[in-house]
Structure 1
Amino acid sequence: MSNFSLSEFKQLPIVMTSMSRWDGDFSSASWSLAKTFSRNQVIIYVDYPFTLLDFIRERKKPSLKARIPALLYGKNCLTPLTEYHTNLYALTPPLMLPINWLPPGKLYRTLAGWNNRRLSKSIQKGLRKLKFRDFIFFNSFNPLYLSSLPKGFSPKAFVYQSRDNIRALEPYLRKHGAYLEIQAVKNAHLSLATSRLLQTDLEHLSGEKVAYFPNAADFNLFKSAFENEIPLPEELKKLPKPIIGYTGNICHRIDYELVKGICERNPEKSLVMVGPRNHWGHTKLDLDELPNLYFTGPKKIEQLPSYLAHFDVLILPFLCNEVTKSIYPLKINEYLASGKPIVATPFSEDIQSFFPLIRLERDAKSFSQAITEELESDTPEKGTQRYQEASKNTWEGRVSLFWKLINQTFSL
C-alpha cells in the first residue's frame, strides 16, 4: 500500500479511461466526473481507443480526422481542453489491434497484452509531457483495456468503477468484458459500483470489497432549468403542448412498446426524445410513424437544461430486465434538478429509492395515467422538493466521497 498522505494523493494527476470519448454524442458519468475533478487537479481523460477496424469504418468522420496525427503518428496526442478547465486534457492513444472477435485464450491474452502495453506507454508519454511521474489510474468501466496493468505501469492508486451490468449487455462487450471486469476488481486497490445490485454482484463474483458510488448530476448546470428563464429551443416552438420529454441515449434500454403506448394514449401531447438514435436492432417498430413522437438528435450536455426547462413532464421508459435492474441512471438527478414531474418504470432498486418524488409505473395505461395526474397535480412546492433532492446528489459530492474512500482504502 502507498505511504502517500491524502493531501499528496490530491496533488497527483488522475488518468481516467472509459468507453466514452470526451466529444461523444451524449453525456457520460465518466466525463462529468473528470470535469469535476479537474477543478482541483490535473486530469488526463483517455479516449476510448480506436482500433484499425474503427479507423477504416470511421475514417471520414470529422472527429476521427482530427485525431489522425495521434492515431497514426503519435503526434499531438495530448489536447488541452481549456474550454472546460486549464487542468483538463484529452489523450488520444495510437490505434489498437481489433481482437474482440478472438475467443478467450492464449492468442487473445497475448494480443491484449500488446494493446495494453501500447496504451500504457501512450499514457506515460502524456504524463511525461506534463512533467508527472506518479499518478492515480481510474478505469471508469472499460475492462477491455488495462484490467491488468503491464509491467512498468505503476499508479499510486488503481481504481476500477463499474457502471453497468456487463454480463447482461450485448455479446460484443460481455464476451471478454465479463471476465476482465472481475479481473479488474481483483487487481484494483479500490473498486466502485454505481448501483446497489452491481455492488452485491461484483462482491460475490470477485470475493473483493466493492464500494457504492452512485451517479450524480452537474447540479450547477441543470438547476438553470429550474431557476432561470431560458429561451425555447427552435425544435420545440411549433410542437403541441404539453410536452413529454426524454433526454439520453435512445438505445437498448428503452421499452419501445411503452413509448408507442404513451404516444397513442396521449395524442394531444408531444413526446420529444433528445439524444442519439441507436434504437435500430432493438425494436421492430417504425418510430417515425408515430405522429406525436419527435426526435431532436444528440445535444451537448450544456444544451440539455434548455430542453428540460420547456418540457412539462419527464419520463424514463426503461425496460425492466437484467440490463436495467443494475442501473442508477445518470439522468434522474438531472431531471430532478429541473424541478419537473417525473414518471419512470421501476427498473432498478436505485430508481425505486426516489419514490415518492417520482411516479413508478410499468404499463402504458398506468404510465399514461400517471403522466396526466402529475401534470394536473404539479405545484411549485413539489418542484422545489425535486430540486432540493438533486442538490444532494452532485458530482462535487461524489468527488468528496471518492477521497473519503481513498482515505479508507489506504488507511491514511
Structure 2
Amino acid sequence: MKFDVVCVAFPAWEGDYVKSTIQLMSELAAHRRVLYVDYQYTIKDVVQAIFKNPFGIPVARILGLKKRLRSIVLENGATIYVLSTPPVIPINFIKKLSLFDKLLRFNSFWQAKTIQTTLHKLKSKEYMVINAFNPSYGIGLYESFKPHIQTYYCYDEIGASHWAKEHGPRLEAQFMKMAHYVIVSSEGLQNSKKLLNNNIYTIKNGVDFELFHKAFIPLSQKNPKKKIGYIGTIDQRIDYDILKRLALEFPDNEIIIVGRVLDDMSEVKIQTDPLKEIPNIKFEGAKSPSALMEYLKEFHIGIIPFIKNEQTAAIYPMKINEYLAAGLGVVATDFAPLTEFGKAIHVSENIENFIRAVRDLLENDSDDIQQARVEIAQQNSWKQRGLQLDALLEQFYKGYNKP
C-alpha cells in the first residue's frame, strides 16, 4: 500500500559513525518516500557551531539561510528527504516539570509548523510517523500528526543515557502508552518495554555487509603477529578488568581500541588513563566507517568486553555482525541474549572464560571457519532489516483503523 514515512529522529544526519536509525531509513527509502526530520539542534549548539563546527552541523539550514529541506541520493540509489528544523531552547537540564513541559510545548510548536509546511510542499497526505528514540518530541508533536499512525523506535535503554537522566524515562513511558506501535532493537528491550505497550515488535541491528566485508582477509594471509581488536565507544559499559587481563596474558599481541573515549566522564577517565600506559594497548580514537576497514583487516579477533547490567542487557551490538562480515572470530561477555549466533561467537560468563576463548582463537582459528561467519553476517544486512521494517509498516497500515 502507498504511504510515506516521516521519521522524527534523535540521531543527527551528519556524523561519521553508523547509526541504526539512518541505516533503516536509508533502506526504507528504496521502497517509500521518507522524510527524515533531523536532530533538533539547540540555540546553544548553533552558536557554538558558528565558531567551531567539528560535527558538520548544517547551521545555515537550521537558521533558514538555506533551504531547510534537501534531497540526498544515497549509495543504494534511493533518495531521502532531510529536513533541518529551527533551533530550539535547550531544556533537558531543567528539573522543574512544569517549566520543562511549557518550554517543550513552545519548542514543539515551531517544529510542528516547519514539518507540516514541508509535508504540504511534498504533497504528502498519507504517511506514517516513526519517532526514533525522541520521546519528548513524540509527545510534543503527537497532536500535529493525528490521525496518522505513530510508532516509537527504541534502540537503547533511555534511563542510562546521560542527556536524558532528568526526564527520559518519564517521557518515554508516557509516549510509549500514546504510540500505536513500538519497535525495539533487541530482545532485552522487548522484555523491558512490553508492559508499556502490547503492540511491540523487534527489528535487530544490521550491518553494512558490502562495506565491512571489504575488510575480509583470509587468516592465512594476515600478519602472523596477531591483533585483538575492539571497535566502538569506550564508556561506562566496558569491563576494564578484561582489557587489563588481555594485556597481561598476551604481552606479544597488540590490543587495538578504535572509537571515541568518553573520558570527560570521570568514571571512564579513571579507568582509561592507566590503560594508556600499558605498552600493548593502543587507543586509536574515532574513525569513519570506511577508515575502520583498514583496522579490521589487521585484526584477528574482535572483542565485546561489556559489563552485565540493565543497560547492556538491552543492547544488540552492531559490532557483532561487523566483526563477522570481516570474518573475525568474536569473543563477548554474556551481557545480553546472543544465542541466535550459536557457535559463531564465543560468549563468556567470566574473565577466565573470556581469556580462554581468546587464546583458543589465537591458536586454532582457520580460513574455513571464517566463511561460516561471513554467511551469518550476510543474513543480517541492513538491506534485510530494511525489508523487514517495510513489511512491518505495511502490516501496521493494513491493521490500523483510523478514528
Q: Judge same fold: TM > 0.5, yes or no.
A: yes
Distance 1:371 1:87 in 2: 43
Partner Cα separation in structure 2 for residue 384 and residue 65 of structure 1: 38
Quote the residue 1:69 is aligned against: 60
Matched, 1:314 2:302: yes
Q: For structure 1, which segment, 337-346 or 187-196, has the greater mean C-alpha deviation from structure 2 after superposition?
A: 187-196
- 2:321 maps to 1:333: yes
Q: Matched residues in 2 for 1:122 and 1:63: separation?
A: 26
**Does the CA contact (< 8 Å) of 2:303 and 2:331 recur in 1?**
yes
Q: Match of 1:177?
A: 168
SS for the counterpart of 2:113 is: helix
Q: Which amino acid aligns with 1:110?
A: K
1:91 Cα deviation (Å)?
2.1
| Native 8 Å contact 2:218 2:370 kept in 1 | no
Provide the C-alpha distance between the structure 2 equivalents of 1:20 and 1:295, rounded to a whole number of angstroms: 25
1:137 to 120, 124, 129: 129
How far, CA to CA, are the matches of 2:189 and 2:25 in structure 1?
Answer: 22
Unaligned runs of 5+ in 2: none
Match of 1:346 in 2: 334
Matches within 5 A, 1:43-82: 43-62=34-53, 67-73=58-64, 75-82=66-73
Residue-by-residue CA offset, 1:81-129 (whole Å, 9 max, x unaligned): 3354451233222111111122353322121112122222222333344
1:38 positional shift: 2.2
Judge conservation of contact 2:13–2:39 (CA < 8 Å) in 1: no
Structure 2 residue 150 is matched with structure 1 residue 158: yes
1:20 Cα shift?
Answer: 1.9
| 2:206 corresponds to 1:216 | yes
Following the alignment from structure 2 to structure 1, what is the Cα–Cα distance between the partners of residues 12 and 334?
30
Residues 287-331 of structure 1 deviation map (CA, whole Å, 9 limit, x = unaligned): 321212223322222333332222111001111112101111121
Aligned to 2:98: 106
Q: Secondary structure at the match of 2:244?
A: helix
What secondary structure, in the 3-state scheme, does the structure 1 residue paired with 2:194 have? helix
Is 1:242–1:270's contact at 8 Å kept on the other side of the alignment? Answer: yes
Paired letter, 2:319: K
Counterpart in the other structure of 1:255: 239
How far apart, in 1, do the equivalents of 2:74 and 2:381 lie? 21
Amino acid at match of 1:311: F
Change (3 A) 1:41 1:410: closer
Tell me, yes or no, if the aligned pair for 1:243 and 1:269 is still in contact at 8 Å.
yes
> What are the ranges of 5 or more consecutive residues in structure 1 without an aligned counterpart?
1-6
Instruction: Report the more deviating stretch, 206-215 or 328-337.
Output: 206-215
Percent identity, please.
Answer: 32
Rounded to whole Å, the distance in 2 between the matches of 1:8 and 1:195 is: 28
Tell me the amino acid that sits aligned with residue 193 of structure 1: V
In 1, Cα distance between equivalents of 2:119 and 2:353: 54
Is the partner of 1:81 in helix, strand or coil? strand
Measured in 2, the distance between the counterparts of 1:380 and 1:156 equals: 51
What's the secondary structure of 2:298's corresponding residue?
Answer: coil
Paired with 1:298 and 1:99, the residues of 2 have a C-alpha distance of 29
8 A Cα contact 2:259 2:286, kept in partner: yes
The change in CA–CA distance for 1:267 and 1:280 in structure 2 (over 3 A counts) is farther
Aligned length: 393
Distance 1:392 1:64 in 2: 32
Alignment root-mean-square deviation, CA: 2.7
- Cα deviation for residue 243 of structure 1 reads 1.1
Written as runs of structure 1 = structure 2, the 5 A alignment for 1:3-402 is: 7-9=1-3, 12=4, 14-62=5-53, 67-73=58-64, 75-82=66-73, 84=75, 85=77, 87-103=79-95, 105-154=97-146, 156-170=148-162, 172-204=163-195, 206-226=196-216, 241-281=225-265, 282-283=267-268, 284-285=270-271, 286=273, 287-349=275-337, 351-402=338-389
- Distance in 1 (CA, whole Å) between partners of 2:290 and 2:114 is 30
Asked if structure 2 preserves the Cα contact closer than 8 Å seen for 1:148 and 1:187, the reply is no
Shift of 1:364: 4.1
Structure 1: how far apart are the matches of 2:55 and 2:63?
11
Partner amino acid, structure 1, of 2:323: Y
Whether the 8 Å contact between 2:16 and 2:289 is mirrored in structure 1 is no
Structure 2 distance, partners of 1:198, 1:86, is 30
Alignment deviations for residues 188-208 of structure 1 (CA, whole Å, 9 cap, x no partner): 22211111121122111x143
Note if contact 2:324-2:377 (Cα within 8 Å) is conserved in structure 1.
Answer: yes
- Per the TM alignment, residue 160 of structure 1 is displaced from its structure 2 partner at its CA by 0.8
Aligned to 1:4: none
Change (3 A) 1:217 1:116: same
- 8 A contact 2:28–2:389 mirrored in 1: no
Encode CA deviations 1:205-253: one digit per residue, 9 max, x unaligned. x143211221111222222223799x99xxxx9xx93111111222222
- Tell me by how many angstroms 1:154 deviates: 3.6
Whether 2:390 is the aligned partner of 1:403: answer yes
CA distance 1:290–1:25, shift in 2 (3 Å): farther
Letter in 2 for 1:304: L
Change (3 A) 1:409 1:90: closer
Secondary structure of residue in 2 paired with 1:354: helix
Q: TM-score, normalised by structure 1?
A: 0.86
